[in-house]
Structure 1
Amino acid sequence: MAVAQVLRSEWTKIRSVNSTALTLGLAVVVSVGLGMLISALSKNEFDKLSAEDKLTFDPTFTAFSGLTLGQLALVVFGVLVVASEYSTGMIRTSLAAVPQRATFLFSKIAVATLLALVVALVTSFAAFFLGQAMLGNHSTDLGSPNVLRAVIGAALYMTLMAMFAMGVAAILRSPMLSLGILMPFLFLVSPILGNVSATKKVAQYFPDQAGSKIMQVVIPPDDDTPYGPWGGLLILALWAVVAMVVGYALLKKRDA
C-alpha cells in the first residue's frame, strides 16, 4: 500500500475517534486556563516577593504553568493513538492491510505528531498571550530576548512528549499499562526525584525535566543544570526517538 494511502487511513482513524478531540481539547483548555489563573495570582502576589524573587521572576514561564498538567492530555492522546488498536483487536486488521510495519507505525506517528504540533502551537501562543494579559505590568512580549524561543519551544516540548508517549505505547501495546507507567512517572516520580538533592542530578535528564528547560527565559542564579534550553530539548527528542525505535523493533519482531 502506498504511503499516501496509509497516511490518509491513519488520519481517518484518528479523527473518527471521540477521544482524540476530547484529549486535544483538554490539553488546550487546561494549559491555557491554569496558566491564566496562576498568572493572575502571581500578579496579585508580586509585591510580596523578595527582592531576589522579583529579579528572577519569569513572566513567560509563569504563563506556561498550566502546560505541566496540560501535557498529560497530549500524553494520553499519544498513547491512545498507538495502543488503542491493540485493546480493540483492530491491530490484526491494520497489519493485514499494511504488512510493511515501518510504514504502518511511522505513518501513524507522523499524522499524530503533526496534529499534536498544531494543537501545541495554538496552546503555547494562547497560553502566552492570555497569561501576559493576566500579569499586567509584570508581563513581557514576544520581542523580548528569548521569549519567542520559549513560546515555540513550549509547542515543541508538548509535541515531543506526545511522541515519547507514542513510543512507549508501541513498546507496551496496552493503553492501561502505558498510562499506568507514564502518568505516575510524569506527575509524581519525576517531580519528587527532581526536588531531592540525592537524585536531582539524575532526574534532570528525565524527558519532562530536560525538555521543559526550553520554556524558561529567566534562569535562576542557583541553577546548575549542565545543559541549556536547546540541549534540554535535544535530550527529550532522544528519549522520544529511542522509545519509537524500540517500539518499532518490537512491532517488527512480535506477532500482532
Structure 2
Amino acid sequence: MAATQVLKSEWTKIKSVQSTIWTLSLAVIVTIGLGVLISILSKNEFQKMSPQDKLAFDPTFVSFAGMSLGQLAMIVFGVLVVSNEYSTGMIRMSLAAVPQRGTFLFSKITVAAALALAVGMVTSFASFFLGQAMLGDLRANIGDPGVLRAVVGGGLYMTLIALFSMGVASMLRSQVLALGVLMPFFFLLTPILGNVSATKKAGQYFPDQAGSKIMQVVAPAGDDAPYGPWGGLLIMVLWVAAALVGGYVLLRKRDA
C-alpha cells in the first residue's frame, strides 16, 4: 500500500472513533476554561502578593494554567490512537494491509501529530488571548519579548505530550496499562520529584517539567534549571523520540 493511502487510512481511523474527537475537544475546553478562570483569580489576588511574587508574576504563563489538566486529555488521545486497534483486534488487519511496520507506525504518528499540533496551537493562542483579556492591566502583549515563543511553545508542548503517550502505548499495547503508567508518571511522580529538594535536580529533566519551560516568559522564583526554554523543549523532544523508537522496535519484534 502506498504511503499516501496509509496516511488516508490512518486519518479515517482517527476521525471515525468518536472518543478521540471528544478527547481533543475536552483538551481545548478544559485548557482554555481553566486558564481564563486562573487569570481572573490572579488579577484579583495580585495586590495581595508579596513584592517578590509580583516581580516573578508571569501573565503569559498564568494563561496556560489549564495545560495541567489539558495535557490529561492529550495523554488519553495519544493512548487511544494506538491502543484502540489492539483492544478491538483490528491491529492484525492493519498489519496485514501494511506489512511494513515502520510505514504503518510512521503514518499513524504523522496523522496524529498533525491533528494534535493543530488543536494545540489553536488552544494555546486562544488560552493566551482570552487569559490576557481577563488580566486587564496586568496583561502581556503578543509582541513582548519571549511571549510569541511561549505561545507557540504551548502548542508544541501539547503535541509532544500526545506523541510521548503514543510511544508508551505502542510499547505497552494496552490502553489500561498505558494510562496506568502515564497518569501516575505525569500527575504524581514528576510533580513530587520536581518539588522535593532532594530530587528537584533530577525532576527538572522529566519531560513535562522540562517542556513546560518553553511557556515561561518570567523565570519563577527559585528557578535554578541549568537550561532555558528551548533547552527544556529539547529535553522533552528526546523523551518523545526515545518513547517512539521504543514503540517502533517492539512493534517490529512482536507479533500483532
Same fold flag (TM > 0.5): yes
| Structure 2 match to 1:63 | 63
| Structure 1 match to 2:15 | 15
Q: Which AA in structure 2 matches 1:137?
A: D
What is the DSSP-based 3-state SS (H/G/I as helix, E as strand, rest coil) of the residue aligned with 1:165? Answer: helix
Q: CA-to-partner distance for each residue in 1:61-108, whole Å, 9 max, x for gaps? A: 000000111011011100110111111110000000000000001100
Q: CA-to-partner distance for each residue in 1:132-161, whole Å, 9 max, x for gaps? A: 011111111101000000000010011011
How far off is 1:192 after superposition? 1.2
| Structure 1 match to 2:227 | 227
How far off is 1:55 after superposition? 1.0
What is the DSSP-based 3-state SS (H/G/I as helix, E as strand, rest coil) of the residue aligned with 2:27? Answer: helix
| Structure 1 match to 2:174 | 174
| Structure 2 match to 1:245 | 245
| Structure 2 match to 1:188 | 188
Q: 4+ runs of 1 displaced by more than 4 Å? A: none
How many residue pairs match? The answer is: 256
How far off is 1:222 after superposition? 2.3
- Equivalents in 1 of 2:49, 2:197: separation in Å? 25
| Structure 2 match to 1:29 | 29
- Percent of aligned pairs sharing the same letter: 71
Unaligned 5+ segments in structure 2 are: none
Kindly report which structure 2 residues correspond to 1:46-57, keeping only aligned pairs within 5 A, or say none.
46-57=46-57
- Equivalents in 2 of 1:176, 1:25: separation in Å? 21
Unaligned 5+ segments in structure 1 are: none
Q: Which AA in structure 2 matches 1:206?
A: F
- Equivalents in 2 of 1:185, 1:221: separation in Å? 25
The CA RMSD measured in Å over matched residues stands at 0.7
What is the DSSP-based 3-state SS (H/G/I as helix, E as strand, rest coil) of the residue aligned with 1:213? Answer: helix
| Structure 1 match to 2:153 | 153
- Equivalents in 2 of 1:220, 1:35: separation in Å? 18
Q: CA-to-partner distance for each residue in 1:147-190, whole Å, 9 max, x for gaps? A: 00000001001101110000000000011100011011111111
Q: Which AA in structure 1 matches 2:127?
A: A
- Equivalents in 2 of 1:122, 1:220: separation in Å? 26
